[in-house]
Amino acid sequence: MSKESFSDLGVSEPIVAALARRSIHAPFSIQSLVIPDALVGNDVLAKSPTGSGKTLAFAAPIIQRLDAGDARPSALVLVPTRELATQVAEEFEAIGRSTGLRVAAVYGGTSVSAQGKAAKSAHILVATPGRLQDLANRRLVNLDGIRILVLDEADRMLDMGFQPQVDAIVRRLPRKRQTMFFSAT
């Protein structure tokens, strides 16, 4: 843990309060390194072990930077597995509950139409590459408004063979956006 606070890093008071309600009071090293750059919209490339706090390092800045008034997806977090999609979406919901931002987890093995409906109205999409590409190909989700892209466990996604889907998704996104890559290895 660092001796500085989330407030010192520029995290807004509502998010600091949401973190405190979860007994999170001081940032881990990866959070101290990433959050200031993420808050101002800089691209980020970070490597840190599993369990070191990477999700919060990108989730807090995304929640702070997005506007609940924008009725389309503005942030996209690509993850390699449905389990991670669920975990990351829960983290966003836990710290962003009071902001009015909607989060949708999109992954295979569940109803395409239900996920498409949820994804269309979400501000933050947390998705596995294959299912998101399927939804985009079916025109069930529009990625034109994505301003922030996160590839979480980017190394694992590539190891699992998702590069063609990730490349196809990135081609659908606006060129002008913030991009953050996170890896555990």
Residue 124 in tokens: 């933050």
Residue 26 in tokens: 């001081």
pLDDT exceeds cutoff 60 at 37: yes
Mean pLDDT of the 168-178 span:
96
Number of C-beta neighbours around residue 168 at 10 A: 14
Structure confidence at residue 127 as a pLDDT band (50, 70, 90): very high
pLDDT exceeds cutoff 60 at 147: yes
Q: What is the pLDDT of residue 1?
A: 47
Give tens-digit pLDDT for 43-79.
999 999 888 899 999 999 999 999 888 878 999 999 9
Residue 103 in tokens: 């989060």
pLDDT exceeds cutoff 80 at 185: no
Mean per-residue pLDDT of the chain: 93
Mean pLDDT of the 137-152 span:
95
Q: What is the pLDDT of residue 97?
A: 83
Give tens-digit pLDDT for 71-108.
789 999 999 999 999 999 999 999 988 888 999 999 99
3-state SS, the chain, equals: CCCCCCCCCCCCHHHHHHHHHCCCCCCCHHHHHHHHHHHCCCCEEEECCCCCCHHHHHHHHHHHHCCCCCCCCCEEEECCCHHHHHHHHHHHHHHHHHHCCCEEEECCCCCHHHHHHHHHHCCEEEECHHHHHHHHHCCCCCCCCCCEEEECCHHHHHHCCCHHHHHHHHHHCCCCCEEEEEECC
